Structure 1
């Protein structure tokens, strides 16, 4: 019969063993599971593939042959369709392929009638009503030199829509292959002018391409224009530094409606732009202009222009409260003591518009008041600002800030003015090509950076909402690339915008910061003081039990 002491020892050992088993088998895994960081799965392999960007940009081109442009024998040998490709390796990770899907056909009677219009503009409008074309497409009408539609010295006319008219000299003696070679050369020049060039795509990928791959003009364009954004805010400010001398009046509402709003309506597929205005009194330049005795005027030299913006920007107060990039357009009326005020270029010549623009910021125009002898004796002078003159300058600067630069074309090319809208259809397409490629590159960079961050810091929470946005962004990028390959520019741009929105939601999600500064060593530092008092008795009991077990195993050996 076991003694009460031995029974008590046995029960103590059983209790210690039971507690140890429960703590190790149940408690430790439960604690580890309840304190681990939740991390939803992400498509790391798909994101890694996006980093090696490969783009194929397809432009649908329709070449319509008018009557008399080619001989009957030459027309018979014209193919119904053609495909031209050219690839460019921009860097080790970025490839770009330009692809033209060309279709040929004869002009319909309605198109022949439209080509016989009284003027090029009438012809362009008539062709537009017959076929508006899809975004990103180019339609080229080939006419005979005998049609006399194009003026002398003009070989190609590019309208304000998606249509161009090309003149070709009828040479019946040439073979069809030779004629098509002449046509193809002109067609490539037209399509590049109305869609994109290598420089345009390189500028859109400026964050991924070494500076050495840029031309001087492409690099300047990439630094001047605002980056792609779902929205912008535009502020027109009238600066009156001398209210005692000037009583300024400007019809900014009517000017915006007449000159800016048509441009913004045309730009609506790219971004939403809100417009406001303000008048600032006693807002002076941060630079004192120099008086020029020869012209009896004050001069602002080009090297001092950067110092003009900072003091004025402190008075604007719009950028700090905006979620979107702000475009600032300032009309400055110099005080009487500094009038007239003119801006000089780098070479010392006066700037015709008396205005300058700052990349990714906005523009400033100096508006001089012409005083009469009577006005100089009767202050303040009432000044009714010529808004036509002002808005022509601001609209030009606005085009530059959105990346709508002047297209370089051969001498025999003539382009139709965009008119009151301030933006041609093909210029909008050209902007969409740029923004789509830029969006895809930006999403790729954002997702790659996010994946690297989450991979390096393992204790950041990745909730299901973040993972969902990442999957949506990856899917939208693939969709955008697919639409670009198929020549569906409108759908490609919309998909790229969705990818941008999803990637930014994932990257800037507040949940990613919750445990950023709570690494594993801090976790142990917090929980060890709680568990150590309980763990020491259990460990000592287990060590004592192990020691007694070893002793019992040795005792039979001694008896033997």
Structure 2
């Protein structure tokens, strides 16, 4: 009897030992080894970025030439002045425009530069004397009687980050009048609320000037479409044209994104829309309502967008077929388009190039055609500016804006583009990280590795730095920080380890492990139930004895 009791006690201890090991060691070990690793993320920083509260500070140096102010006005000249203007774009976005104006008198060197014969020469001479910081502007105020500006011109805006304005006479506060005039100049040379609102918009607006969305790179493709090679032997010197016209423009935009340029010739490529013959002009017409149907058939032949990692800008030069020549484009009012070209937002542009057809008896087919690349590239460069949102706003009548020249882009136009792209980058980072945080919160079994978390932290920190630099008036560093934020956020969002299909949901996890643990767990549970039943019976037996 004692041996049976000892055997029973030994079995009880063994069952309890197995149960203790399974519960205290096995279950936590299994749970720990099968759990999804999730590094911590800065959810608070991501939420703060969603507010999109921007303060854009523009440093402005107002330089008074000799004679622009009287002696008393010169002595009362303040050192600096700050004007702020807050605009609420929507419930989640607001922009505070801060204009920090610093007043001073012209130096001897600047005064000498302003004493030249023409304002163009003065603009060139003043450029090396400026700090030339991205986003900063310098306004030179000359006397009202100065012959530097042409008659009827009150403000001259050159190709650099400076303007020359005539000091307007009046009995009121001259400094207040100058300050109001300077704000007009800033609106012309810097960001506008409309451009910021466009950068923050996620929808395609109806404005045809809406630019390409911000990207780290772009691919530009020039295509020559020759639908009738039997009649036309078309030659174009695209390499020299790109080097002379497009490359200087892209070099100026080198800080904005990376660019690659290629070209191709497509034979037997037609527009896909039959033009209408106009008897009055003995020509063929493409009306405005048919232009949207032109792109799709041609795009299938281009073949570049399918293999590109970056947005593709397409520029097509179309030489009409002999039976459809000459071919002209009409606008919505039925008037001929002067450039005989049109552009599509976020896609590119198409130009129809007509050639002089010789008399049939003198024709020797195929006819050699040498394309006038100067005419063509002027149109494509203008379309390229529109696709990037580089356009000039309507200005007061006494403003004179000079042509950007061979570079195709003025310094202040580059700054305007950087303002909008910086804002757009920050908004993109906010959207990307918010979507990522919502995804990770919704699907709890996605692994969050340390390198993904570090990219998220880096993106949040870079976006915060960009916001601080914008508020400090440092556009260059703000834009670079916003680019780094976009890069880090995209790396985190598209990291392959975030593919949740690589991991089992919890119900599948239990479905796999239950067949493994159940054979071991059943004997242990039955033993525990038996031990519990025997313990209960042993407590009742003494009571019956009593």
TM over 0.5: yes
Q: Secondary structure at the match of 1:551?
A: helix
The within-5 A match list for 1:97-112 is 97-112=96-111
Could you tell me which runs of 5 or more consecutive residues in structure 1 were left unpaired when the two chains were aligned.
none
Match of 2:326 among 337, 340, 345: 340
2:251 is aligned with 1:268: no
Q: Equivalent residue for 1:230?
A: 216
2: CA distance, partners of 1:18 / 1:326:
69
Q: Equivalent residue for 1:2?
A: 2
1: CA distance, partners of 2:146 / 2:109:
16
Q: Equivalent residue for 1:41?
A: 40
1: CA distance, partners of 2:184 / 2:504:
59
2: CA distance, partners of 1:377 / 1:67:
69
Q: Equivalent residue for 1:480?
A: 466
2:191 is aligned with 1:196: yes
1: CA distance, partners of 2:266 / 2:301:
8
Residues 289 and 338 of structure 1 are in contact (CA less than 8 Å); yes or no, is this contact kept in structure 2?
A: yes
2:67 is aligned with 1:61: no
Residues 69 and 169 of structure 1 are in contact (CA less than 8 Å); yes or no, is this contact kept in structure 2?
A: no
Match of 2:388 among 360, 377, 402: 402
Q: 1:120 Cα shift?
A: 2.0
Residues 477 and 499 of structure 1 are in contact (CA less than 8 Å); yes or no, is this contact kept in structure 2?
A: yes
Question: Judging changes above 3 Å, is the alpha-carbon distance between structure 1 residues 485 and 194 closer, same or farther for their aligned structure 2 residues?
Answer: same
2: CA distance, partners of 1:274 / 1:120:
37
Q: 1:237 Cα shift?
A: 0.4
2:64 is aligned with 1:77: no
Q: 1:7 Cα shift?
A: 3.3
2:122 is aligned with 1:136: no
Q: Secondary structure at the match of 1:320?
A: coil
2: CA distance, partners of 1:61 / 1:97:
16
Q: Equivalent residue for 2:377?
A: 391
Q: 1:129 Cα shift?
A: 2.0
Q: 1:15 Cα shift?
A: 1.7
Q: Equivalent residue for 2:151?
A: 152
Question: Judging changes above 3 Å, is the alpha-carbon distance between structure 1 residues 531 and 546 closer, same or farther for their aligned structure 2 residues?
Answer: same
Q: 1:144 Cα shift?
A: 1.0
Q: Secondary structure at the match of 2:306?
A: helix
The within-5 A match list for 1:342-357 is 342-357=328-343
Q: Equivalent residue for 1:179?
A: 174
Q: 1:377 Cα shift?
A: 2.5
Deviations 1:294-340 (A, max 9, x none): 11111111111111111111111111111111110000001101100
1: CA distance, partners of 2:476 / 2:354:
44
2: CA distance, partners of 1:169 / 1:149:
14
Residues 459 and 516 of structure 1 are in contact (CA less than 8 Å); yes or no, is this contact kept in structure 2?
A: no
Q: 1:220 Cα shift?
A: 4.4
Q: 1:180 Cα shift?
A: 1.3
Could you tell me which runs of 5 or more consecutive residues in structure 2 were left unpaired when the two chains were aligned.
none
Q: Secondary structure at the match of 2:432?
A: helix
Residues 456 and 492 of structure 2 are in contact (CA less than 8 Å); yes or no, is this contact kept in structure 1?
A: yes
Deviations 1:239-283 (A, max 9, x none): 000000000000000000110000001110111111010100010
Match of 2:280 among 277, 294, 299: 294
Deviations 1:394-452 (A, max 9, x none): 00000011110222211111101110000000000000001001101110111111111
1: CA distance, partners of 2:485 / 2:299:
33
Question: Judging changes above 3 Å, is the alpha-carbon distance between structure 1 residues 157 and 369 closer, same or farther for their aligned structure 2 residues?
Answer: same
Residues 144 and 170 of structure 1 are in contact (CA less than 8 Å); yes or no, is this contact kept in structure 2?
A: no
Residues 241 and 284 of structure 1 are in contact (CA less than 8 Å); yes or no, is this contact kept in structure 2?
A: yes
2: CA distance, partners of 1:8 / 1:517:
47
TM-score (norm 1): 0.95
Deviations 1:96-120 (A, max 9, x none): 1000111000111211121122222
Q: Secondary structure at the match of 1:321?
A: coil
**Deviant stretches of 4+, over 6 Å:** none
Match of 2:397 among 408, 411, 415: 411
Residues 331 and 367 of structure 1 are in contact (CA less than 8 Å); yes or no, is this contact kept in structure 2?
A: yes
1: CA distance, partners of 2:361 / 2:495:
60
Q: Equivalent residue for 1:508?
A: 494
TM-score (norm 2): 0.98
Deviations 1:85-139 (A, max 9, x none): 1111222222210001110001112111211222221111111122252110010
Question: Judging changes above 3 Å, is the alpha-carbon distance between structure 1 residues 30 and 276 closer, same or farther for their aligned structure 2 residues?
Answer: same
Q: For this pair of structures, how many residues does the alignment match?
A: 546
The within-5 A match list for 1:360-509 is 360-373=346-359, 377-509=363-495
Residues 38 and 461 of structure 1 are in contact (CA less than 8 Å); yes or no, is this contact kept in structure 2?
A: yes
Q: Secondary structure at the match of 1:364?
A: strand
Q: 1:11 Cα shift?
A: 2.5
2: CA distance, partners of 1:237 / 1:536:
74
Q: Secondary structure at the match of 2:145?
A: helix
1: CA distance, partners of 2:360 / 2:499:
67
More deviation in 85-94 or 446-455?
85-94
Residues 445 and 500 of structure 2 are in contact (CA less than 8 Å); yes or no, is this contact kept in structure 1?
A: no
Q: 1:515 Cα shift?
A: 4.7
2: CA distance, partners of 1:495 / 1:129:
27
Question: Judging changes above 3 Å, is the alpha-carbon distance between structure 1 residues 358 and 536 closer, same or farther for their aligned structure 2 residues?
Answer: same
